[in-house]
Amino acid sequence: MTSDGIDADAADSRFRALTRRPGKIIAVHLNYASRADQRGRRPAHPSYFLKPSSSVAATGGTVERPAGTELLAFEGEIALVIGDPAHRVDSGSAWDHVAWVTAADDLGLYDLRANDKGSNLRSKGRDGFTPLGPVLIDARTVDPATLRVRTWLNGEIVQEDTTAGLLFPLPQLVADLSQHLTLETGDVILTGTPAGSSVAAPGDVIEVEVDVPGGPRTGRLVTTVVAGDGGFDPGLGSLPSTDDAQREDAWGSRAAAGLPPVGPTLSPALRAKLEQVPVAALSQQLRRRGLDDVTIDGVRPMHPDRKLIGTARTLRFVPLREDLFAVHGGGYNAQKRAFDAVGAGEVVVIEARGETGSGTLGDILALRAHARGAAGIVTDGGVRDHDAVAAVGIPVYTAGAHPAVLGRKHVPWDLDVTIGCGGTTVQPGDIIVGDADGVIVVPPALAEEVVDAALAQEAEDAWIAARVAEGNPIEGLFPMNAAWRARYDGERR
């Protein structure tokens, strides 16, 4: 400790904005309503992860985007620096233990996020990934409910929110953490980021500032992104990997990531029509329009009495290769991300290449899809825990049951891409309809036309069936000749 009360560690330029090197840095996963709504979920309670103090950087520095990665995301945040240690304090007194407030940028590599789901060690713990500063605001001089955070990317403001938009107020975070561990002098709490977090590339300049509008301010925390030279050794651990789901999360939306929309949702009116139309009738109408290869072959329903209607969310498996499974098969892999991402009214459609020598899902994933409100699951591979999956109640179409786990035959590879399932091409957003006859894929652009034509054909077939039941011969009636057609049209009018 120096004579002016500054710890000697602060002589390291990384810590020049702080009074000492922090013993621990604790970050909140999700805390702004704007960010939660963007992600489509609002947590009931705060959750946290740790960042190493070696990740701290000072203003005016650079941060490397490692070679072989593309998704370095910035997150402007309010950082709290603990003064007096806090252990089992309540919300009413928690702010008294905060000495300073400053700006932070919680940088992270989405390319590595899937490998460290929740812990964020590799994705957010690299050197330079926690810029802090440049000025400490005395916490005694501010109301924690009136703070504002803003972020600029290349001079354009991209994030702005206040602590009025928090799901969990700042004193609550301090109190909550203190009931689990002792917050020590110099510890830093990163309190979450609002909507607007996105991706930065080499050459981009990120600036973050925290203030009380019209009052004290931290000044701008400036970080410049540079291209890193070093890559990753595949013999040591997980390698970076990306897919469209990670790109969407990193950029904030599919549009911002340059991705096409997943597809239109079904209107209630179209869904109601589809409820009335059997798959056989849809197949007939699609064939009349030149689409013959739109049935997902080789799959059978686990619930033949349940109709399946929804839009496709796709998941692709590639054949097992042990070195690739070591990288892509564990952790928060594409399979788990697909079942976490499926939305209400959507169908998880899995490309398993017709390989039935292992399961492609089990009861846990079926439960997750059901809890998310998914319309169903279609896989041209096997299902593990067959009876337990059936008991969940969600419509599932599969090529059969198999007791083996995924890694016997498959590597989970990517999601929300065009796939082949049961001999037909399926794109995200395609309309999937299934009944006891099987599953068919309906292109959204043709859906209204095809459904209306199928309903009309169903009405005609029902009328013909009634005539046959009356004792009339099929000849001339099915299909109808001119005389029968005239009678049908007259009755319809």
What are the pLDDT digits (tens) for 442-457? 999 999 999 999 998 8
- Mean pLDDT throughout 416-443? 95
The pLDDT value given to residue 488: 85
**CA 426 to CA 314: how far, in whole Å?**
8
**In contact, 308 and 347? CB cutoff 8 Å:** yes
Three-state DSSP class for residue 18: coil
Amino acid identity at 449:
E
- Mean pLDDT throughout 262-271? 79
**In contact, 169 and 163? CB cutoff 8 Å:** yes
The pLDDT value given to residue 8: 43
- Mean pLDDT throughout 206-223? 97
Q: 243 is written with which tokens?
A: 């897919």
Q: Is the pLDDT of residue 29 over 80?
A: yes
Q: Is the pLDDT of residue 239 over 70?
A: yes
**CA 338 to CA 268: how far, in whole Å?**
25
**CA 331 to CA 121: how far, in whole Å?**
13
Long-range contacts formed by 368-374: CB under 8 A, 24+ apart:
368/339, 368/340, 369/339, 369/342, 369/394, 370/394, 372/339, 372/340, 372/342, 372/343, 372/344, 373/343, 373/344, 373/345, 374/310, 374/342, 374/343, 374/344, 374/345, 374/346, 374/347, 374/348
Q: Phi first, then psi: what are they for 320, rounded to 5°?
A: -60, 130
Confidence label for 1 from pLDDT (cuts 50, 70 and 90) = very low
Confidence label for 298 from pLDDT (cuts 50, 70 and 90) = very high
Q: pLDDT digit string (tens) for 393-420?
A: 999 999 999 999 999 999 999 888 899 9
Q: 411 is written with which tokens?
A: 């590597």
The pLDDT value given to residue 261: 63
The pLDDT value given to residue 2: 36
Per DSSP, helices labelled H in 233-320 are 244-251, 268-276, 279-288
Residues 6+ apart with CB under 8 A from 213: 146, 148
Q: Is the pLDDT of residue 128 over 50?
A: yes
Confidence label for 262 from pLDDT (cuts 50, 70 and 90) = low
Q: Is the pLDDT of residue 305 over 80?
A: yes
Strand partners, 51: 25
Domains, the chain, in order of start with CATH, read 8-251 (3.90.850.10), 268-448 (3.50.30.40)
Confidence label for 257 from pLDDT (cuts 50, 70 and 90) = confident
**CA 49 to CA 137: how far, in whole Å?**
24
Is 365 annotated to bind ligand? yes
Q: Is the pLDDT of residue 264 over 60?
A: no
Q: Is the pLDDT of residue 10 over 80?
A: no
Is 364 annotated to bind ligand? yes
Q: pLDDT digit string (tens) for 69-88?
A: 999 999 999 999 999 999 99
How many CB atoms neighbour CB 433 within 10 A?
A: 24
Q: Phi first, then psi: what are they for 466, rounded to 5°?
A: -65, -35
How many CB atoms neighbour CB 487 within 10 A?
A: 14
Confidence label for 57 from pLDDT (cuts 50, 70 and 90) = very high
Confidence label for 266 from pLDDT (cuts 50, 70 and 90) = confident
- The number of angstroms, rounded, from the C-alpha of 493 to the middle of its chain's C-alpha atoms is 51
**In contact, 78 and 170? CB cutoff 8 Å:** yes
**CA 375 to CA 284: how far, in whole Å?**
24
- Mean pLDDT throughout 321-348? 87
Confidence label for 248 from pLDDT (cuts 50, 70 and 90) = confident
Q: pLDDT digit string (tens) for 187-201?
A: 999 999 999 999 999
What is the C-alpha end-to-end distance of the chain, expressed in Å? 96
Q: Comparing 123-137, 148-162, 323-337, which segment has the lowest mean pLDDT? A: 323-337
Three-state DSSP class for residue 463: helix
Q: Is the pLDDT of residue 294 over 70?
A: yes
Q: Phi first, then psi: what are they for 131, rounded to 5°?
A: -65, 140
Q: 457 is written with which tokens?
A: 């054909």
The pLDDT value given to residue 493: 76
**What is the chain's mean pLDDT, rounded?**
91
Q: Is the pLDDT of residue 4 over 50?
A: no
Is 384 annotated to bind ligand? yes
